[in-house]
Amino acid sequence: MIVGSALLLSAYLFPRNTELRGMRWSELDWDRAMWEVPGERMKMKRDHLVPLPPLAVAVLRELREIDFGSALVFPSPRDPARMLSEMTFNAALRRMGYTQDVHVHHGFRTTASTNLNEMGWNADWIERQLAHVPTNKVRSSYNKAEYLDGRVEMMQSYADWLENLL
């Protein structure tokens, strides 16, 4: 259930592997339905807000009912103070029959970006959701926009789209 829940959240939220494995309960703002990832855990060292669509909140609430006595949402089964192994998600995908050339954990990010772009969502919203920093250094220096309202709408729409695929 734990790894399956992590894979569901990977589809809904498309975070990097390390960000998801290191998710802490204290980073979740239940009232705002937001995951607040501190910059020190991000690749680009910038704080990152991740809107949580209701389907993701439901997955997290189910996980919350399981008490591992850990600050981590996805603790290691051997040591609740440590996060799951780096290979856990890809190993689960292999067990599900997905070979490395078909799907890897990072592929959730590619899939989301591709589909959201094809659906016509604002490219700046998509890139911000992926926690990408603009390559234009001048724009990156001045544009600190979060595009939060648009990203909340986009994430809800994407979660709904995923659910309709089933």
Answer yes or no: are the C-beta atoms of 64 and 54 closer than 8 Å: no
Tens-place pLDDT, residues 7-40 = 999 999 999 999 999 999 999 999 999 999 999 9
| Catalytic hit among 43, 61, 82, 139 | 43
Tens-place pLDDT, residues 51-67 = 999 999 999 999 999 97
Q: How far is CA 17 from CA 39, 53, 129, in A?
A: 15, 19, 15
Paired tokens of 81: 């103070």
Answer yes or no: are the C-beta atoms of 52 and 67 closer than 8 Å: no
Q: What pTM, to 2 d.p., does this model score?
A: 0.90
What residue ranges define each of the domains in the chain, with the CATH number in brackets?
Answer: 2-165 (1.10.443.10)
Q: Is 21 a catalytic residue?
A: no
What is residue 120's predicted lDDT score, i.e. its pLDDT? Answer: 98
Q: Is 43 a catalytic residue?
A: yes
Q: Is 144 a catalytic residue?
A: no
Q: Is 142 a catalytic residue?
A: yes
Residue 142's pLDDT band (boundaries 50, 70, 90)? low
